[in-house]
Each structure stands twice: as C-alpha cells, then as structure tokens.
C-alpha cells in the first residue's frame, strides 16, 4: 500500500505548482504561446493552495452547494494536472527522439524533418495555450461561485496533521477528534476493544494485580491505524464514561513531570500556569484525588518506551476508581507487557481490498463520486474492478462513461487506450502472456502492477512510459526484460521477487539511476543481436536499498572483462541484504570468479550476506572486521575453496553447506542459529557459543563431537541457551561428551538444560541411551533411529514419564538393513508417555496391533503415523492382554472398544503398509482424518 500511496502523491497541489514552474523554465517552442496562461495558472494555484488544503480537511460542509463546489474545484485541479503532465511528457519524448535520430536522417532528410517538427510544434503550442486558458476560466468561474457561498473566506486558518509523516515523528501530537471520512475496515477490532473496556472489572484486575484500574493495549506496526482505531473506540463509549474520558499523546521519550502535567491539564481542566510550579509529588496527589472519585477512561496514545511509567506515574494512574480503564497504543509488545496490560489487541494489516478502500478514503481524502467499484460516472477518477465477474464488459461500459480515470485496479488489457490519463494500473494476477504495444498510450502511468500474472514478455513500447515509477513483476512468469527498459528514467521500484522463469535481461538497466528497489539482477549472455546485461551496469545504481540478488556471475569472462578494478557495491549503503549467485559453470575458473567477488565488495552496514556456487578463494574484504558491525546472517552454499570462517561478533545465524575445503569455524558470541552440512574436511565445531539456540549438523564424516569431561570447557555449559539440536549422518559422532556436559549443566549455577528438541539419525557411533535422555526433562520433541540409539535396558512404561515428563512428539525409525542395530518391535516404554500428542513409527516388524498396545494409546495422543510396516496385518487384537508392567492397568479387549479408542484420534496415517487390512467401521468413523 505504501508504494501505491507514493505513486499517487501528485494529489498534493505543490506537485502541480512545481510542474508549472518547471514548464515555464523550459526553452522549447511547445510552451511559447502558452507562457502567459501558464503564469496566470501559477498565480491562481498559489492562491488556492491554502484554500484547497482547507477543503480537503474540512470536517463538514454546511450545504449541498458547498460539496458541489468542492467537487468542481477538484475536477479542475485534476484536469490541470493532466494537461501539464501530458505536455511535460511530450517534451521528454521529443528530446529523446531528437537524440536518437540516425546520422542518415540527419544528413539525407534534414529539411523534411525540420518542416515536420515545426508544423507539429506550432499546432501543439496553440493547443496547449487553449487548454490552459480553459483551466483558468473554469477556476475564475468557481472563484465567483465560491465567493457567493463564502466558505473559504470564513473558514478559520487551522493547522492540520501532516498525513505524510509517520508515527516516528517526535513532534507528532494526536487528538481524539475524527476527520471528515469514516474509517474503513476496523469495525471488528473496534467491537472487540469496546467489549473489553466495558466488561466486568474483576476479571481484569485479577490479571494485572496492580490496582483497581485495567490496562488494554492496541499493538501494531507504524501507520497501520492504531490511533485511528483508538479514536473510534473513544467516540463509541462516550455514553458510558461521559466527560471522564481523556486523551493524551505520550510520543517518544517523554519527560515524566511534563507528562504528568499534561495529564493533569486534561483531567482537571487546569491552565498550564496553575500546574507549572507544582512538584512531582504535588502533581501525583492532585491526579490521585481526581482519578479516585469516579471511573474513567484515559487513552495514552503512541507509547514508545517505559522509563516514564515506573514508580510515581504507575502508582498514581493505577490507583483510580474501580472500573476505570487505560487504553494505550504502541508499536511494541514489550511496552504492553511492561505496563501490565490485561489484554493486548494485535492490529492486523489490511487485506489488499481494504487497503485500496482506505487509500481512496483516507490517503487521498476522497470518496463519493471520485471512487467507484465497477459503476463509474463522468466524475470517477479511481475505479476498482476487483471481484467483478465480467471485467471486459465493465471496461467497455466504462469507456462510454468516463475518460478521466487515474486509477484502475483489476482491469483487462482491452480498451486501455481509452484511459490515457491513468497513473495507476493493476493487472495483478491477470491471465495474459504479453502486454499490447498500445500500452505506450498511457504516457502518464506511474504505477504498473503485473504481479502474479502470466506475463512472459514486455513490448518494446514499454520504454515510452517515461513517467513510470513502479513496475511490479513479482510472482509473474516473465522470461526476459527488453533493452527499452533502460528508457524508464524515473523508475524507482522494479519488483522481481519469485520470478523463476526470468532468464535474460537486456543491457540497459544501468541507466535507471533512480532505482531504489531491484530484487534481482541477472548477468546475461548476449541473445542474438541484443546485448545482455553486464555486471558493470551496477556501478551507477547508487540509490539501491533493501534486498539485492546478483545472479549469473558464472558468465565470468564477460564479467571480469568489464569489471576491472572498480568497486561496484561498496558505496551502496542502502543495501542491507545481498545474494551473490555464481551458478554452475564448467568453463569459468577459480581465479576469474575470485576477481569478480573482489569487485563485489559489499557496503558497510550489510545485515545479510549469501554466496553460492562459488569456485574461488576467500576475498580479501572478507577478513576486514569493519564490515561485520551489523551483519547478522551469513550463508555459504557450495563455496568449494572457502577454508575458514572468522569470528563475526554481530552474527546471529550461520548456514554452511557443501563447502568441502572448510576446516575451521571460529566461536561467535552472538550466534543463535548454526547449520553445517556436507563439509567433509571439518573436524571440529566451535565450542563457545553462549547465545546458541538452534544447532543442525548433517553429513560431517570426520567430526567426532565435542570433547568429553576433562578436556577443557564442556559443551553445553558453553551453549546453555540451546533449545534445538539436530544431528544426522555423522558416523564418528560420540555422545560421551553430551552426557558429561548435561550432567554438569544440571548442577551448574542451579541451571537445567534448556534443550527442547533433539534429533539423532544415522550416527552409529553415538549409541545414545537412557543415560543421556534422563538428563533432558524439558524435552518436547525427540527423533531417533536404531542406528543412533541403544534404548535397552529400557524403563518400564509406568516409569518413563518420570524421565521424559514433557515429551509431546516422538519419531522412531528402525533399520531395515543392518540387523546389528535393528530394534525389531516398537519399544514398550513408548506407550507410557502420558503427555505424548504425536507419534511416528517407521519400519518396525510388528504383525498385529503393535504388540497389543494400539488399543491402549497414551491418553493425549492425537496423531499416529505408521510408515513402512511391511508385515502389519491388523490394528485390532482381541487376544492381547496388558501385563502388570503396562502403563495402563486395563485395556479394551473387545474389537469394538479398540476401534472406538482408535477413532478418537485427530489424524491416523499409513504409508507403505501393504499387508494391512483395516476394519470398515474404523474407516467410516475416521473419515477424512485417515490417510492411506
């Protein structure tokens, strides 16, 4: 939505004044006859600027005549803008065409061209003058009508909030007054908060335990509508709280005493002078006396932090009368929790449809006749065809009704040429493969949304859209970008997220020096006579910010020839996430790729870096520690010669895959997530990672695990925050060190291990057993196979819950090849896990009812999955009787009772169970909850 608002920012009259002023500076024949009229228009617009702002923000109009004049004024304003921008565009295109004349035309046909251009410019100049004159005459007529009604002259000069500034502006001051437009899309949120504010006090006070006042919060990101929602609530409950409703804007880093004065001024209606000389203690006393008289509602809007809240302020405000409420708005959940809110309302983002409606009614200050959903009139400027059944027919009808559309959402490609004033066009999700060449007729277009469409190619005429600022091709089927893209000199946003079909970008993107967002840049080989994009084109794109993925760097000869010693990314400080993908190429060598990567030295302040399919050595810039003050994510995928990972103190996530030469990873103090896969030379993992929460190790054939006791620093005492550990395909990994470390940690400064999830698969040297598992009382998820775990002797089913009291998810896999490691049957202790909710069993050899236990399922089990039970014939066994060691003393032996027990599951899955014969009654009872 932010991009749409930016694309339609010409609503501000200042942009039209700038455009008129810019035209007056142009030394071209086109405006010679129009200069006088342009100057008149400039003066009128300057005088109308303040008045128009009053009209846009005026809360009420006293008569129908007022509203009519307002509409007329806006119509003239839009028409003037259309005319000015049309001729600005013609001047731009004319200059381009003049520059692109071939030498043949210049030599062979100079007089023909000169004569043709002269006639064309004279005609256009007179037309421009006449159109501008008509605008001036219409403004004069409106001025006379307006003076008769006189709303502008009698409207006081008021200050309004700046709709462009966000909530981060420290000078922002809000009030509870609603604007002229009714807020859109928040009725459900309003009802919920009103219900909470008017509900029984006892429930709230028992939760906060801080006094007789309840706190309710609205939390959400900036600009999402928290303040507007609070205003709606404030207005809705006027009857319940009467005059004891107060609104105070807290804003960023408030002074405690100043804020109390502000609240006291609202509550007691005292002047600033009356309370200015009061001490903090006196302010608190006065407030406490007033707030304790009767229940109240106090809105604290735009709360950023908690330093002001503690001690005096909290004690004073929470000591109010029973039934009182405090409603706060904040971006941060921590603020809500820190203030002790009994209910936090997370404000969701709007859907696309809601955003569109809100944009029209709020951001543009419009609505009524200017906005239409599939039913346009002659005054319609913004039309949506979203969810319209017959778009083409509606488009055809619209061409006969209105030609002044500026915004068109959910359109088809037909009849587009009839809407030459369009600024915003959305063909999102449309099922067409190519744009028509006639798109060039929409010369004023600023926003073009083709995301999610079947679009494969763009026509060469796309280059004539010289005003285009946003082109969104995300999630489309686009296959290539033409060379004419280089003419889109005003383009700021080129959306290419999730464009997997894109294989070729023609040379020219390097000319788009206004680009802010470029998700993907593909270095491309030439395609016939069309030159492909080269890496050097990145040099002048210095306004890029956010995410950038540079792909196709395997085209190394072309890349290295054009790079030289230039630093292509180093000064692009707006980029925070960078992906460098070399791709697989047998022809390019390590030295060539090393030269390319050296030239792609990233900017300072980078937060995320990923390098993939890289054959060269570590670049020199990698060892410069100044680059890593903000880097929090590093991914190295298939970097075959990368030998060492240095300590990056800011790093939080590290992913390393298929780096065959890697032999050292340094300890990193801030690292929270570490994933290492397929690194054959790596023999050691870092030991000191105090912040680590998630660890995944896969396919490390030479790693033996961490040192056991007596070998220096132990493992888990240096990873005391570890929550998840996943080990797979590590044939030499041993668990003695884990057992020792866990036993040490259990008594280390009163801590218990924080491990919640453990997975060990295909690690035959681990021989994990109950000695380790009994050190993990907080374990929630456990995944083991028979190659990695030796679980005999095992505890009795009635005892297992004392070892694993929290276990909710269990995955067990038996080997079907190696008899040495085979479990054979499902261990009996499984059925004694009283908290178990999900159970997956794979490749066991049971024939009937898993040893007679399927009719005695753990009481909380909701999901059961059986994979690769080649011998299992039946789930029901009426001959099975539980023995004295079973977790459940009595089990149903009747077939119907067993089926009833199984039918209580939420999900029952079977995969590769060829011999299984299921009772029809069980199939009927489970229905869609069973997967075969």
DSSP letter for each residue of 261-323: HHHHHHHH---HHHHHT--HHHHHHHHHHHHTTS--EEEEEEE--STTTTTHHHHHHTTS-TT
pLDDT, position 85: 83
pLDDT, position 634: 95
pLDDT at 447 exceeding the cut of 90 = yes
pLDDT, position 110: 44
End-to-end Cα distance, the chain = 44
* DSSP secondary structure code for residue 927 in this structure: G
- Distance, in Å, from the CA atom of 165 to the CA atom of 699, rounded to the nearest integer, reads 52
pLDDT, position 63: 46
Distances (CA, A) of 924 to 857, 876, 929: 20, 16, 10
pLDDT, position 238: 83
pLDDT, position 888: 44
Collapsing DSSP to helix, strand or coil, 864 comes out as: strand
pLDDT, position 30: 62
pLDDT, position 173: 63
* Predicted confidence band of residue 583 (pLDDT cuts 50, 70, 90): confident
Please count the CA atoms within 13 angstroms of the CA of 738 that sit on its side-chain side: 22
pLDDT, position 368: 56
List, as one string, the DSSP characters of 325-386: EEEEEES-HHHHHHTT-SEEEE-PPPPHHHHHHHIIIIIS---GGGEEES---TT--EEE-T
- 340's CB contacts (< 8 A; 6+ apart) are 208, 210, 215
pLDDT single digits (tens) 675-708: 999 999 999 888 888 899 999 999 999 998 876 6
* Predicted confidence band of residue 153 (pLDDT cuts 50, 70, 90): very low
pLDDT, position 687: 80
pLDDT at 154 exceeding the cut of 50 = no
pLDDT at 162 exceeding the cut of 70 = no
Q: Is the peptide bond before 793 cis (omega within 30 degrees of 0)?
A: yes
pLDDT at 55 exceeding the cut of 50 = no
Residue 75 structure tokens: 């119509």
pLDDT single digits (tens) 611-621: 999 988 888 88
- Distance, in Å, from the CA atom of 819 to the CA atom of 269, rounded to the nearest integer, reads 86
Average confidence (pLDDT) over 279-288? 81
Give the β-pairing of 608-614 and 644-645.
unpaired
Helices 590-599 and 556-563, interaxial angle, to 10°? 50
pLDDT at 516 exceeding the cut of 90 = yes
- Distance, in Å, from the CA atom of 37 to the CA atom of 48, rounded to the nearest integer, reads 16
* Predicted confidence band of residue 399 (pLDDT cuts 50, 70, 90): confident
* Predicted confidence band of residue 183 (pLDDT cuts 50, 70, 90): low
Residue 631's nearest CA partner among 614, 612, 647 is: 647
pLDDT, position 841: 93
Residue 617's nearest CA partner among 584, 594, 597 is: 594
Chain position carrying tokens 């942009």: 15
* DSSP secondary structure code for residue 930 in this structure: E
pLDDT, position 750: 44
pLDDT, position 827: 86
pLDDT, position 616: 86
- Distance, in Å, from the CA atom of 284 to the CA atom of 796, rounded to the nearest integer, reads 64
Cα dihedral 161/164/165/167 (nearest 10): 90
- 853's CB contacts (< 8 A; 6+ apart) are 826, 828, 830, 831, 880, 886
Distances (CA, A) of 818 to 277, 764, 815, 842: 86, 11, 6, 15
Average confidence (pLDDT) over 454-474? 93
**In the sheet that 382-384 helps form, which strands lie side by side, from edge to edge?**
371-373, 382-384, 407-409, 424-426, 447-449, 470-472, 493-495, 517-518
pLDDT, position 274: 64
* DSSP secondary structure code for residue 505 in this structure: E
Average confidence (pLDDT) over 442-447? 92
Question: Alpha carbon 570 to chain centroid distance?
Answer: 26
pLDDT, position 92: 76
List, as one string, the DSSP characters of 814-852: --SS-GGG---S--GGGGG-TT--EEEEES----BHHHH
List, as one string, the DSSP characters of 688-722: --TT--EEEEE--TT---S--TTSSS-STTS-TT-
pLDDT, position 586: 61
Chain position carrying tokens 């692009």: 572
Residue 579's nearest CA partner among 523, 636, 502, 621 is: 636
pLDDT, position 758: 92
CB neighbours (10 Å) of residue 55?
20
Percent of the chain having pLDDT more than 70? 75
Residue 477 structure tokens: 């089927």
* Predicted confidence band of residue 50 (pLDDT cuts 50, 70, 90): low
pLDDT at 119 exceeding the cut of 60 = no
The beta strands (E) that lie in 553-688 are given as: 575-581, 608-614, 633-639, 644-645, 653-657, 664-665, 673-677
pLDDT, position 565: 60
Please count the CA atoms within 13 angstroms of the CA of 826 that sit on its side-chain side: 25
Average confidence (pLDDT) over 93-102? 64
pLDDT, position 103: 40
- Distance, in Å, from the CA atom of 573 to the CA atom of 605, rounded to the nearest integer, reads 7
The residue length of the chain stands at 932
pLDDT single digits (tens) 333-385: 888 888 888 999 998 876 655 565 555 554 444 445 778 887 888 888 888 88
- Distance, in Å, from the CA atom of 236 to the CA atom of 226, rounded to the nearest integer, reads 15
Element (H, E) at 88: helix 64-99
Most confident of 123-132, 668-677, 705-714: 668-677
Average confidence (pLDDT) over 541-564? 74
Contacts for 590-595 with beta carbons within 8 Å, 24 or more apart?
590/615, 590/616, 590/617, 590/641, 591/616, 592/556, 592/557, 592/559, 592/560, 592/616, 593/553, 593/554, 593/556, 594/619, 595/560, 595/563
* Predicted confidence band of residue 83 (pLDDT cuts 50, 70, 90): confident
Are 423 and 449 in contact, with CB atoms under 8 Å apart? Answer: no
Residue 422's nearest CA partner among 465, 458, 390, 372 is: 465
Distances (CA, A) of 799 to 284, 837, 870: 59, 18, 31
- Distance, in Å, from the CA atom of 902 to the CA atom of 143, rounded to the nearest integer, reads 81
* DSSP secondary structure code for residue 555 in this structure: -
Average confidence (pLDDT) over 456-461? 93
pLDDT at 214 exceeding the cut of 80 = yes
- Distance, in Å, from the CA atom of 302 to the CA atom of 308, rounded to the nearest integer, reads 13
Q: For residue 523, what are the β-bridge partners?
A: none
- Distance, in Å, from the CA atom of 322 to the CA atom of 212, rounded to the nearest integer, reads 5
Most confident of 25-29, 142-146, 756-760: 756-760
Q: Which of the two residues, 103 and 525, has the higher pLDDT score?
A: 525
Percent of the chain having pLDDT more than 90? 27
Residue 144 structure tokens: 């006379």
- Distance, in Å, from the CA atom of 289 to the CA atom of 295, rounded to the nearest integer, reads 12
* Predicted confidence band of residue 241 (pLDDT cuts 50, 70, 90): confident
pLDDT single digits (tens) 780-818: 999 999 989 888 778 888 888 888 999 999 999 998 666
The beta strands (E) that lie in 861-924 are given as: 863-867, 907-911
Most confident of 66-70, 247-251, 355-359, 880-884: 247-251
Residue 537 structure tokens: 């084109």
pLDDT, position 412: 77
pLDDT at 517 exceeding the cut of 90 = yes
pLDDT, position 872: 85
pLDDT, position 99: 61
pLDDT at 851 exceeding the cut of 80 = no
Q: What angle do CA 664, 670, 671 make, to 5 degrees?
A: 50
pLDDT at 894 exceeding the cut of 70 = no
pLDDT at 204 exceeding the cut of 50 = no
Cα dihedral 669/670/674/679 (nearest 10): -50
Q: Mean pLDDT, the chain, as a whole number?
A: 78
* DSSP secondary structure code for residue 725 in this structure: E
Element (H, E) at 547: strand 546-551
């Amino acid at each position: 939505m932010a991009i749409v608002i930016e694309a339609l920012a010409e609503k501000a009259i200042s942009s039209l004044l700038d455009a008129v002023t810019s035209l007056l500076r142009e030394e071209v024949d086109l405006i010679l006859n129009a200069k006088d009229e342009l100057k008149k228009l400039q003066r009128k617009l300057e005088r109308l600027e303040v008045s128009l702002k009053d009209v846009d923000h005026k809360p009420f109009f006293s008569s129908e005549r007022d509203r009519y004049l307002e509409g007329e004024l806006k119509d003239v304003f839009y028409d003037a803008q259309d005319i000015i921008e049309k001729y600005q565009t013609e001047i731009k295109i004319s200059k381009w065409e003049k520059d692109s004349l071939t030498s043949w035309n210049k030599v062979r046909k100079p007089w023909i061209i000169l004569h043709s251009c002269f006639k064309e410019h004279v005609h256009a100049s007179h037309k421009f003058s006449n159109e501008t004159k008509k605008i001036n005459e219409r403004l004069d007529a409106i001025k006379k009508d307006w003076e008769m009604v006189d709303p502008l002259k009698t409207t006081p000069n008021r200050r309004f909030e700046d709709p462009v500034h966000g909530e981060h502006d420290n000078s922002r001051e809000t009030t509870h007054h609603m604007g002229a437009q009714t807020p859109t899309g928040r009725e459900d949120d309003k009802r919920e908060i009103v219900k909470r504010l008017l509900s029984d006090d006892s429930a709230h006070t028992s939760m906060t335990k801080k006094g007789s006042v309840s706190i309710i919060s609205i939390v959400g990101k900036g600009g999402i509508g928290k303040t507007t929602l609070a205003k709606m609530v404030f207005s809705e409950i006027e009857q319940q709280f009467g005059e004891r409703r107060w609104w105070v804007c807290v804003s960023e880093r408030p002074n405690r005493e100043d804020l109390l004065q502000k609240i006291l001024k609202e509550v007691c209606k005292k002047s600033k002078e009356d309370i200015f000389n009061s001490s903090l203690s006196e302010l608190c006393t006065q407030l406490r006396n007033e707030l304790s008289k009767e229940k109240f509602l106090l809105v604290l809007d735009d709360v950023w932090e908690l330093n002001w809240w503690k001690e005096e302020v909290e004690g004073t405000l929470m000591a109010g009368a029973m039934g009182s409420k405090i409603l706060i708005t904040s971006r941060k959940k921590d603020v809500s929790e820190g203030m002790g809110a009994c209910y936090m309302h997370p404000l969701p983002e709007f859907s696309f449809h809601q955003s569109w409606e809100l944009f029209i009614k709020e951001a543009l200050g419009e609505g009524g006749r200017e906005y239409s959903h599939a039913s346009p009139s002659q005054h319609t400027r913004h039309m949506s065809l979203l969810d319209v059944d017959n778009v083409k027919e509606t488009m055809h009808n619209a061409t006969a009704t209105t030609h002044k559309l500026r915004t068109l959402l959910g359109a088809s490609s037909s009849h587009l040429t009839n809407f030459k004033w369009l600024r915003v066009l959305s063909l999102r999700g449309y099922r067409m493969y190519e744009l028509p060449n006639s798109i060039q007729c929409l010369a004023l277009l600023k926003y073009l949304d083709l995301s999610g469409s079947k679009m494969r190619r763009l026509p060469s005429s796309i280059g004539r859209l010289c005003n285009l600022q946003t082109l969104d091709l995300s999630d489309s089927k686009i296959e290539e970008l033409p060379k004419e893209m280089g003419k889109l000199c005003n383009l700021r946003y080129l959306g290419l997220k999730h464009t997997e079909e894109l294989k070729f970008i023609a040379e020219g993107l390097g000319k788009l020096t206004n680009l802010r967002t470029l998700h993907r840049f593909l270095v491309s080989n030439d395609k016939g006579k069309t030159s492909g994009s080269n890496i050097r084109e990145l040099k002048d794109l210095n306004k890029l910010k956010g995410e950038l993925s540079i792909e196709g760097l395997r085209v190394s000869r072309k890349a290295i020839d054009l790079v030289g010693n230039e630093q292509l990314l180093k000064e692009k400080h707006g980029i925070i996430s960078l992906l460098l993908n070399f791709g697989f190429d047998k022809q390019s060598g390590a030295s060539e790729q090393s030269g390319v990567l050296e030239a792609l030295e990233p900017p300072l302040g980078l937060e995320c870096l990923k390098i993939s399919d890289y054959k060269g050595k570590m670049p020199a810039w990698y060892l410069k520690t100044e680059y890593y003050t903000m880097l929090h994510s590093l991914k190295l995928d298939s970097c075959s010669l990368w030998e060492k990972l240095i300590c990056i103190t800011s790093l939080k996530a590290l992913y390393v895959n298929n780096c065959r030469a890697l032999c050292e990873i340094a300890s990193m103090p801030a690292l929270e997530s570490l994933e290492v896969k397929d690194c054959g030379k790596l023999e050691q993992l870092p030991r000191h990672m105090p912040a680590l929460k998630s660890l995944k190790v896969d396919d490390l054939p030479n790693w033996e695990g961490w040192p056991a006791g007596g070998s220096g620093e132990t493992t888990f005492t240096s990873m005391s925050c570890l929550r998840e550990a996943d080990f797979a395909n590590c044939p030499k990994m041993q668990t003695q060190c884990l057992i020792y470390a866990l036993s040490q940690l259990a008594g280390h400064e009163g801590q218990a291990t924080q491990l919640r999830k453990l997975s060990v698969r295909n690690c035959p040297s681990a021989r994990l057993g109950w000695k380790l598992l009994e050190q993990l009382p907080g374990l929630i998820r456990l995944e083991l196979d028979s190659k990695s775990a030796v679980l005999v002797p095992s505890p009795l089913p009635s005892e297992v819950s004392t070892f694993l009291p929290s276990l909710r998810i269990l995955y067990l896999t038996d080997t079907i090849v190696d008899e040495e490691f085979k479990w054979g049957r499902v261990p009996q202790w499984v059925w004694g896990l009283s908290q178990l909710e999900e159970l997956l069993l794979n490749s066991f050899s049971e024939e009937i009812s898993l040893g007679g236990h399927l009719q005695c399922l753990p009481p909380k089990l909701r999901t059961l999955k059986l994979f690769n039970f080649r011998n299992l014939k039946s789930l029901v066994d009426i001959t099975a009787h539980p023995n004295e060691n079973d977790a459940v003393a009595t089990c149903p032996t009747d077939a119907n009772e067993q089926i009833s027990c199984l039918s209580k599951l939420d999900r029952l899955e079977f995969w590769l169970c060829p011999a299984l014969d299921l009772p029809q009654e069980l199939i009927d009872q489970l229905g869609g909850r069973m997967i075969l």
